[in-house]
Amino acid sequence: MTGAMEKIATLRAVLAPTGRAQRRVSLGRPDGVLAGGLRRGALHEVFAPPSHEAAATGFVVGLAVRLGGPVLWITQDYALLEHGVQAATGLQELGLDPARLILLRVPDVTSALRAAMDGLSCAALGAVVIELSGESKLLDLVAYRKLVLAAGESGVTVLLLRFSAQPSVGVAETRWQVRAQPSPSSHWGKPIFAVELQRNRAGPGGSWVLEWSCDDGLFRSADRGAVVSASGERSPAAALADISAA
């Protein structure tokens, strides 16, 4: 019996995630339902309703700031045509040094997933962002599980940013839906988001109006007020700049 228990203990140690993957990074206000923060080395989804793509992008930038390290941002060509490219000035205003960003353009979802898997093999990265627009049958349970396993092995966090899409599988550690919210003119550099945590493996969901503090890089509770303009017909680069300047 003792030998069997030792084998079980050894197996658990082998299967346990690495120390980096077990760590959680504080986000601020949502930490209470996240067991202390966003789990590293896991897959997190962020969805944007139509015309709120820039807000969701800004939210993901905030997550990347918290995670630290270089960020591989993978974008399919169609998403760039629809929503524009990230503006370096907007990223800087949100607290993400553009020098940390590695922007990779790919032609389709297949290439995006392949590039993400390659990126997840590099433990030096802080996060891999996969920005996709529209529904795709390629984002099935098998694809999700591959991303989850690769993230768990390397400790690199996957941030899957989805536009014009609906959740289809329940594998992600967390799932968020983000909308633009009011940002008083006096709150320069502090964009506000309406955030709904729809899925949370660590506990219950939640809904907050959060202010991103660029000074200390945390999401704090915000009073409801005037809205940051949604992207509408403007390019996401311009909309992101608006959010960062709000």
Name the band, by pLDDT with cuts 50, 70 and 90, for residue 76. Answer: confident
Q: What is the pLDDT of residues 172-202, one digit of tens each?
A: 999 999 999 877 665 556 789 999 999 999 9
pTM of the model: 0.80
Q: What's the pLDDT at 84?
A: 62
Average of per-residue pLDDT across 36-42: 96
Q: How far is CA 92 from CA 118, 133, 158, 244, in A?
A: 27, 24, 21, 9
Top-confidence residue, 237 or 222: 222
3-state secondary structure of 239: helix
Q: What's the pLDDT at 151?
A: 97
Evaluate if residue 241 carries a pLDDT over 90: no
Top-confidence residue, 4 or 157: 157
Q: What's the pLDDT at 177?
A: 97
C-beta of residue 203 within 8 angstroms of C-beta of residue 33: yes
C-beta of residue 182 within 8 angstroms of C-beta of residue 226: yes
Mean pLDDT of the chain: 81
Domains of the chain plus CATH, in order, are 38-245 (3.40.50.300)
Q: What's the pLDDT at 145?
A: 96
C-beta of residue 197 within 8 angstroms of C-beta of residue 175: yes
Q: What's the pLDDT at 4?
A: 53
Q: What's the pLDDT at 182?
A: 74
Top-confidence residue, 240 or 230: 240
